Amino acid sequence: MRPIELFNHDVNQSDPTRFERWTDYRNQITSFIDDHTDGHVFSHLLVVGAGNCDDLDLSYLMRKFKKITLMDIDLEAMQKGLKTYHLDEKDIELIQKEFTGFDESGFFESLIDDLFQIDDGDKLIEYLNQKVKRALHVPIFKSHHQPYDFILVSPIYTQLVFHQIQNVSNELSFITH
């Protein structure tokens, strides 16, 4: 596994209670989609950063869209999400893809070591801004050209970066809890 794939896999497997705990959030996402689709059924949905699908009601989405494509670097997590709803890959298309730019830009290569060299919050913000800017310059959909009626993007960057910093925050002297 590539570093970003391994990291995402670990994050996706880190909390077995997340599906249950995210019920309210999942309902909010469902309401958001419903509010922005005016009760219509659409042809094709792309979910970028699907992970375990803990924040998605796949049963609802199956009624709302004729075709659904889930995209994530962690294929096992997407397969787990399908099983939660008693679905399989003939019901929903799965595409394993790294689309954050983190892998190609080397985002995580020295992140932890670099974090321990930073001694205040402003420097941390500047450091992370620079890392994200480099990652955002990586063309992520250069080989994927397909029309979609609706694209739903999970809060990928914040989830990945937040968890990484949270894991080391107890050891960073300038962060108070």
Check residues 162 and 41 and name the one with the higher pLDDT: 41
Residue 70 has phi, psi (to 5 degrees) of -105, 135
As given in the structure block, the two tokens for residue 170 are: 């107890």
92-105, pLDDT tens digit by residue? 999 998 877 777 77
158-174, pLDDT tens digit by residue? 555 555 556 556 666 55
As given in the structure block, the two tokens for residue 80 are: 């787990």
As given in the structure block, the two tokens for residue 123 are: 């420097």
DSSP 37: H
The CA distances from residue 169 to 51, 116, 147, 176, in Å, are 24, 10, 41, 9
Q: Residue 175 above 60 pLDDT?
A: no
* Residue 90 included in any domain: yes
Which candidate, 86, 71, 64, 72, places its Cα nearest to that of 7?
A: 72
Instruction: Return the pLDDT at 86.
Output: 95
Instruction: Report yes or no: 85 and 61 within 8 Å, Cβ to Cβ.
Output: no
Q: Which of 38-42, 72-76, 112-116, 163-167 has the highest mean pLDDT?
A: 72-76
* Residue 61 included in any domain: yes
Instruction: Return the pLDDT at 28.
Output: 93
Instruction: Return the pLDDT at 14.
Output: 72
* Residue 22 included in any domain: yes
> Which amino acid is present at 50?
A
> Which amino acid is present at 100?
T
d(CA 45, CA 126): 35
Share of the chain above pLDDT 70, in %: 77
Check residues 60 and 15 and name the one with the higher pLDDT: 60
Tell me how many domains the chain contains. 1
The range of the structural domain enclosing residue 37 comes to 3-171
* Residue 25 included in any domain: yes
* Residue 95 included in any domain: yes
Mean pLDDT of 78-92: 94
As given in the structure block, the two tokens for residue 9 are: 């896999």
* Residue 121 included in any domain: yes
We report the CATH number of the domain holding residue 123 as: 3.40.50
Share of the chain above pLDDT 90, in %: 32
* Residue 49 included in any domain: yes
Which residue reads 């939660």 in tokens? Answer: 84
* Residue 176 included in any domain: no
Instruction: Return the pLDDT at 10.
Output: 72
